[in-house]
Structure 1
Amino acid sequence: MDGRRRRSGRPDVSYGNSDGIAHNRSVILGTIHGYYKEALAVLPLDDLPELAPRLVGAGVCFGFGDPTTNIIANTLSSFLPDKPDPDHRAKKHKRKASIKTPSAAARSDAAGDAPSPPPETRTIAERSLEGLITFLTSYFRYLPTWDALRYLCLANADLLVAVRLIELDRYYNTKDERFHISSYAARAALTCVASSARQPDVDGFIAGSFSLASHLEFVTQTVLADRSYVLSVEKILLLSGMLKKKPRMLDKSDNPMIFADERRLRNCHTDANASGDANCEKVPGGLTISLRAVLLDKIHAKYLKAISRLPMQDVRARYHRALVNGGYCYGPFSCVTNIIVNTLWYDSTFPAMEKLEVDMICTSTFVRVESRSLRGLIKLLLTCIPEISEHDAMIYLLKNNLKVRKAIEMAGAEGWKSSWDVSAYKAAADASFHPEPEAYVQFSTQSLPKVQAAVKSLLRASTPLSSNDVLQLATLLPSSNCISAKSLETIVDLSTDALDMFIAFKEKFVTQQGFFHRKIEAALRKKFYASSLLS
């Protein structure tokens, strides 16, 4: 846009409150109506009246550009110009003023003058709002609707600015975590958006969106060059033809997120100058119900990375049990190293009584160990810094990528007093329902520090470990002398009902495992066949 911040109202942060949600929707709709007025002001509707129904039908304000550019681009992507009529200018002056022309209908629809209709006949502005919400809640896992509305308020209904604000709020700092339009997740979210906004041509909308991204700088400059003049018919035809071409390779100068960041900073500086708040670019923190789920996603990524470093055959034949029982991500190292070390230690100290080779680990089992790991991390931090709340602990973990010691350092720099002793690991083990808390505490506080340097040396590289590396590491880790009596007890024979239940569960697991195994093998064969044809 032109750099002006739209002050139609501040977001309501009453999470889940119906009045707050209604307020935010009203604020965003008012902002969107302003964008449509700008788009209508530069479109030559008098010379090309056929643009009006295209705008009402397909000219949504979301896409990879700023909202006004998106409206015009989406309108032109579906625009098929008629043959020029030499008598058109003469005819248009003879129309009766009482007749509501397509241009007038488009202005009324975009301005939101009429009462809110049912979903199948929503105005283009209302459909745009639904699309914006759908994109954010589809792309960002666990983002509730009221949070999406808050970000859209802060971003002035600019989709990619809202995406960037969420990335900053959730501390997506690595290249892999940040939004990229070529990712499968972005394309899937765009498809969901087109359906929720009732776009007449979903495939055409997606193709037009990527065409806009590949010519973003030129289209944006053309559309927003001079707001005092209506775009000429020649420019409309040029843009329409460009947006219908196959998208070219994305150039760095056309990166949509660079433009989005510029709009975010430009709008923020305007508010900063007005209010004197130098930190206004930060998204206001609030108690979001998605915070815990965001941390769980990060923990899930750590587990996947840890598993990828272990020899797959060893995981299938042996370490899967220790991973889900004692392979928690807290400890003296990084999360990935803690998972590996804790898994190998638990397997060697409490070996399985019966061997079982598996091809997969159930999702529910993975969710359980990840959730318990998070409980342990939070409790560890709360024990070291007893004055902070659980929400503050999660914020510190999020800001420091789950690194507890860095989180403690950050809290200390902000004035919180901290201490670290044996009780921290004991609290974490109890909170995570560790099967052998006493043994783990002794291992992590007494035995492990003696070999900590050697363990770091073995796991310094991020390359996959061989079976010999794993054996060497497992031998290096000392077994605890404090083995609970519970682990030495003789296993009690199961009752008939319990045994039947266990057998049924095992059969169900084997059936599911076989199904997924066949699906993956078929997918790999298909990929191999396709690559062999290309080569």
Structure 2
Amino acid sequence: MGDGAASSVLRVVRPRCRDMPSRKQQDGELACLLSKIDSIYTEACDRLAVRGRPVTLARFHDAGVCIGLLDPVSNIMANTICTSDFRPDLREKVLVGAAVERKLDDLCRRSLEGLVAFLGFSLTSPASAPAFEAALALAAQIAKHPQPERLVRAWMSLSSRLRQVLALLREVQHHSPRENMDRLGQLLDDDPVVPPCLAIPWALAACPPQRIGSIADTPYQHTRSLRMVLLDTIHAFYLQALARLPSGELRSRLHRSLLRAGFCYGLMDDPASNIILNTIWYEANFPEEITPVLDVIGPKSLTRLVSRSFYGLVSFLQTRYHSLSEHQAVQCLVSTCGQLRAADPNFCAPGDEKAQQHR
């Protein structure tokens, strides 16, 4: 691994036939995912202390789906607490042993089905609020939430105050459920519902990647799973870039340069900013006299662009580090959220080079 004469030889990763997993592999992945969701519910149960409160436990099983704008545990807690004010007809009933397990298994599967339904939409900007609202409503219905309309109204109202909601939920173990229910209800009633601020969930979900000591020093996972995770990460970068580009210019001319040269790597630290910069640069240097107006960029075109960025990122790392396998390159990019600057321990932007020369 390292630089030198050998590193000038290109190692280009090219598309291959997509290998579909077997039914056994799909079942195994589903089981692992459900096990992960089950552990999330275990943590939410502990933080809400539902096992000692029959009414709260019933509400938890009824409405505690992990759908929302925060992390899954916080979503479960918020949905349980928000719904409790609006379910006064619930009767106390004690569930024990196998009955509790059956309820929890059902809740895990309902949440998974709701999450899958939600992912059919994109969460990118305030302009996408109607699509997001529809996605949230569909997810709540698929997850069999008892009051899907109430869940949608609650999250649309709380979207601009997610940090307050997080702070409240972190204190849930230090206050009674009733007190937390009342405080969360006050957040819902303080102000009229405003247009949702969907940039806040993006900011809360963003996790600054950490540089790693060795470019391949990450736990092993199957290559196909890693590739899919990285492709999904890159896809999210494009959704963010599309939300930030001016819609009129995007429809009239920038869609052409985006699809031809809007890659997610470049001089900027932020992949979405690289996409925007590359798109504008290509349009400025290679303009087209007549460009058809495009109402929407089709999913196949966007998938093709995501794949090209994927192969570009992996090819860069394998060209620079000849001992690096494709699996290790993808693994490294996944561990750093698809950001090349963090994935390459020897990456040095132009500004950094000047700073190092003065040291």
**Normalization by structure 1: what TM-score?**
0.38
- Flag the 1:217–1:304 CA change in 2: closer, same or farther, 3 A: closer
Counterpart in 2 of 1:375?
Answer: 311
Instruction: Determine which structure has greater relative contact order: mean sequence separation of CA pairs < 8 Å that are 6+ residues apart, divided by chain length.
Output: 2
Counterpart in 2 of 1:18?
Answer: 27
SS in 2 for 1:290: helix
SS in 1 for 2:87: coil
Counterpart in 1 of 2:150?
Answer: 204
Deviation at 1:220, TM superposition (A): 6.4
Counterpart in 1 of 2:100?
Answer: 111
**Quick one: which of 113, 116, 130 aligns to 2:109?**
130
SS in 2 for 1:224: helix
* Residue pairs, 1:38-187, within 5 angstroms: 38-41=49-52, 43=53, 51=55, 55=59, 58-60=62-64, 62=66, 66=74, 69-70=77-78, 73-74=81-82, 76-80=84-88, 103-104=93-94, 106-107=95-96, 111-112=100-101, 123=103, 125-134=104-113, 136-137=115-116
- Flag the 1:25–1:329 CA change in 2: closer, same or farther, 3 A: closer
* Aligned length, in residue pairs: 281
* Residue pairs, 1:315-464, within 5 angstroms: 316=252, 324-325=259-260, 327=261, 329=263, 333-334=267-268, 335=274, 336-347=276-287, 356-360=290-294, 362-363=297-298, 364-394=300-330, 406=341, 409-410=344-345
Deviation at 1:201, TM superposition (A): 1.6
Deviation at 1:39, TM superposition (A): 0.9
- Flag the 1:186–1:389 CA change in 2: closer, same or farther, 3 A: farther
Deviation at 1:387, TM superposition (A): 2.4
Deviation at 1:128, TM superposition (A): 2.7
- Flag the 1:190–1:394 CA change in 2: closer, same or farther, 3 A: same
Structure 1, unpaired ranges of 5+: 1-14, 46-50, 83-100, 117-122, 143-175, 251-255, 262-281, 414-451, 453-535
Q: Give the aligned residue type for 1:329.
A: F
- Flag the 1:126–1:25 CA change in 2: closer, same or farther, 3 A: same
Identity %: 14
Deviation at 1:323, TM superposition (A): 5.9
* Contact 2:237/2:264 (8 A) holds in 1: no
Q: Which is higher, the Rg of structure 1 or of structure 2? A: 1
* Contact 1:59/1:75 (8 A) holds in 2: yes
Deviations 1:334-374 (A, max 9, x none): 53444444444445xxxx7xx64421175244544453344
Deviation at 1:248, TM superposition (A): 3.0
Superposition CA RMSD, Å? 5.5
- Flag the 1:199–1:341 CA change in 2: closer, same or farther, 3 A: closer
Alpha-carbon distance in 2 for matches of 1:23, 1:337: 39
* Contact 1:59/1:71 (8 A) holds in 2: yes
Alpha-carbon distance in 2 for matches of 1:380, 1:132: 39
Counterpart in 2 of 1:298?
Answer: 237
Deviations 1:127-147 (A, max 9, x none): 4313443465456689xxxxx
Q: Give the aligned residue type for 2:146.
A: P
* Contact 1:55/1:75 (8 A) holds in 2: yes
Counterpart in 1 of 2:12?
Answer: none
Structure 2, unpaired ranges of 5+: 1-23, 194-199, 206-216, 269-273, 351-359
Q: Give the aligned residue type for 1:103.
A: K
- Flag the 1:403–1:38 CA change in 2: closer, same or farther, 3 A: closer
Counterpart in 2 of 1:224?
Answer: 173
**Normalization by structure 2: what TM-score?**
0.53
Deviation at 1:301, TM superposition (A): 4.6
Alpha-carbon distance in 1 for matches of 2:79, 2:265: 52
* Contact 1:316/1:358 (8 A) holds in 2: yes
* Contact 1:131/1:196 (8 A) holds in 2: yes
Alpha-carbon distance in 1 for matches of 2:236, 2:285: 25
SS in 2 for 1:293: helix
